Structure 1
Amino acid sequence: MKHLRPGRCGLRTALVVAVATAGTLAMAPAAPAVTPGTATLSFDCGFYGSGTGTLTATQNGTAATISLSTSAITSPIAIGANSVASTLTLTKNGSGTTQFSGKSNPAIPAGSPVSTGPLSGKVTAGDRLEATSLKVVVFGITATCKATSKQSPGPFVF
């Protein structure tokens, strides 16, 4: 009967495990990321006001979300959570458009800026999205805002 040297079997096992792990990591897809994660721009909402907006984007595969807070619209009364319906329109790759929408918001105290999102949409790798307009509906009243500046530091790239 052949005797195995101590440690030699353990070394072979460790080597096999290390090679298998490296191969698995090499085949794993890279985690999707959107850059920049946050951008700012200016909105003009007509009668409702104008001001800056902050957009925060996240991505999970082909699903993406954008949350928005803007000083362009302030709430004259307290608004309960999940009662603001919003649609954010963005240029897609410089020519077409896409929309992110949803009815999700934190509770908004009277006199506070409107925050909405996450708004949901679909993306593909390489999409470049830049906000152009925002529609917010609260208690049946619609405020339509147009972007008056480009996103800074630039469009979202998914």
Structure 2
Amino acid sequence: MDERNIVLIGMMASGKTTVGGLLAAALGRPLVDTDALIEEKEGRTIPAIFAADGEGYFRDRERETAQDLARRTGLVIACGGGLPLHADAIAPLHETGVVFWLCRDPGITYDSGVLGDRPLAQDGRAAFLDRFAQREPVYRRWAHHIITDPVSPEAGLNAILEVLRA
């Protein structure tokens, strides 16, 4: 297996960090979660960044983070759900890595109750489903491979490993 980064995209709470952690462990690679990295650099949570400085400020940090990670190799990268909506953030990761879209049913994701205080998940189920419908073609465009409705994080891991071994 080559040293290109493995990049996970998808809606918030679709399992990118969980599956990414399993994948990183299986491959002996570091996991980098773009949201966690931004929080670490900023010294505050994403909801706090949105509240204080707005989404535009956060997207600028996200773009800088993605461009930096694209210059590295051998990583498993779990991207924030909105990162692929910005070509200047996702394009470098797409060019230097293998992008997997974890496509989980948005209704199941919303109903699971795992969204918590995420700023872009506070407007109700219909808005969340609409956000998925808007993002779906973007995720599809940037994904090299689509992992559809894995029944568990382990199933998502195994599906990705199958593709990587092929």
Report the TM range for the smaller structure's normalisation.
under 0.3
Name which structure has the greater RCO, CA cutoff 8 Å, separation 6+. Answer: 2
More strand by share: 1
TM-score, normalising length: structure 2: 0.24
Give 1 or 2 for the bigger CA radius of gyration.
Answer: 1
Higher helix share: 2
